[in-house]
Amino acid sequence: MFSWIWTNLLYNPILNVALSLYHILGDNLGLAIIALAIIFRLVLLPLTKSQTSMTRKMASLKPQLDALQKKYKNNPEKLSQEQMKLYKASGYNPLGCLGTFIPQLLIIIVLYQAIRNIAANNINGMYPFIHEWIASSKDFLINTKFLGLELTNIYSELSDKFSKEGIVFLIIAILAGVSQYFTTKFTQLMQNPQAAKSKKKKKTEELSPEALQENMSKSFNYVLPVMTILFAIRMPAFLGLYWVAQSFALIAQYVLLDWDKTKKGVQNLISVMKKGKGKGNVEAEK
């Protein structure tokens, strides 16, 4: 059952969309991957909007949650009950903050499998009408080069990692991680503008569940980009290209949906970066 769902509802559709885009965009696999990143962002738009709504709602509930935390600090069971009542009354769903994480993970896994098979000319699962449209014979070759780079190569497996091609692959991997970092920060500031204005917490506040969750989120902001770079180094270059493209597609999505909030998000991001830089300079002087 699971195998049928995976093949017929996930893998085959993505495989055929990828092949169609490849053909439409002049047999260019790189452009097809970039187009896929944009399309997937559009498909996930409802989930993105829901995630943004839930995150902003959580931020608006923070004063009430802090009050409950203070009132029932010695009664965890009662605290949990009151928090759930507040969530229900306000229409907040904690799972809504997960948003696009699971769908994106599934997309990356399926995309990796599909592009690897396309590069190996394994087109099992290709719809007959797509096949007739793209090629007159079953044994057609896929061009896996993009701007002179072989997208199926892996940086960690190159014989000379400091060759011209190896350096470009390394740059793609680093760009994937850097774009992931800025996109995550930008998204958080778009979803919760008050994050840029948050003040330093007292030691007693640092022990609250909300503060611990915030600290975990901050740690995740750095761990995820590093993991992205490591994965991109050990995976084919097309995956790094996809990560870079989908990061820029997300920012473009925010710009098109709400320009005013996007400007505020950029300003908040710059403000946070300046605060971090200023803090580093003060510590260096000490």
User: What would the pLDDT profile of 46-55 be if each residue is shown by its tens digit?
Assistant: 887 777 777 7
| Contact status, residue 197 vs residue 153, Cβ threshold 8 Å | no
Residue 129 lies in a domain: no
Give me the chain's average pLDDT, please.
77
pLDDT at 103 over 90: no
pLDDT at 88: 85
Instruction: Give the residue with greater pLDDT, 166 vs 114.
Output: 114
Single-letter amino acid, residue 97:
C
d(CA 120, CA 141): 9
Q: pLDDT band for 36, please (50, 70, 90 cuts).
A: very high
pLDDT at 196 over 70: no
* Cβ neighbours for 75, distance < 8 A, ≥ 6 positions apart: none
CA distances from 150 to 22, 28, 141, 237 (A): 15, 12, 14, 8
Angle between helix 237-257 and helix 45-71 axes, rounded to 10 deg:
80
DSSP state of 141: P
pTM over 0.85: no
Phi, psi of 137 (to 5 degrees): -130, 160
pLDDT of amino acid 242: 93
- When pLDDT is cut at 50, 70 and 90, the band that residue 102 belongs to is confident
Measured from the Cβ of residue 16, the count of other Cβ atoms closer than 10 Å reads: 19
User: Residue 65 to residues 20, 96, 204: CA-CA distances in angstroms?
Assistant: 50, 18, 15
Residues in the chain, overall count: 286
pLDDT confidence tier of residue 65, bands split at 50, 70 and 90: confident
pLDDT at 282 over 50: no
SS3 label, residue 235: coil
Lowest mean per-residue pLDDT among 50-54, 102-106, 176-180, 257-261: 257-261
Domain-located, residue 125: no
pLDDT bucket at 17, cuts 50 / 70 / 90: very high
So what's the pLDDT on residue 207?
A: 45
Rounded to an integer, what distance in angstroms lies between the CA atom of residue 118 and that of residue 17? 12
From CA 81, how far away is CA 251, in angstroms rounded?
A: 38
Distance CA 262, CA 130 (A): 39
Q: Does 91 map to a domain?
A: no
| Better pLDDT: 90 or 39 | 39
- What's residue 202's pLDDT? 46
Distance, CA of 39 to CA of 87 (rounded, Å): 33
d(C-alpha 246, C-alpha 179), whole Å: 9
Q: Which residue has the tokens 């098979």?
A: 117
Burial (CB < 10 A; 0-12, 13-18, 19+), residue 36, is buried
Provide the token pair at 184: 């995550």
Q: What is the mean pLDDT of residues 11-35?
A: 91
With respect to residue 148, please indicate whether it lies within any of the assigned structural domains. no
Lowest-pLDDT choice from 27-31, 59-63, 155-159: 155-159
Nearest CA among 236, 234, 28 for reference residue 145: 28
Cα end-to-end span (Å), the chain: 63
Which of 78-87, 169-178, 204-213 is predicted with the least confidence, judged by mean pLDDT? Answer: 204-213
Structural domains in the chain (count): 1
Read off the pLDDT of each residue in 7-36 and give the average, rounded to a whole number: 91
Domain assignment present for residue 253? The answer is: yes
**Does 38 fall in a domain?**
no
Q: Is residue 163 part of a domain?
A: yes
Residue 87 located in a structural domain: no
Residue 238 structural domain: 153-286
Percent helix, strand and coil across the chain, each to the nearest 5: 80, 0, 20
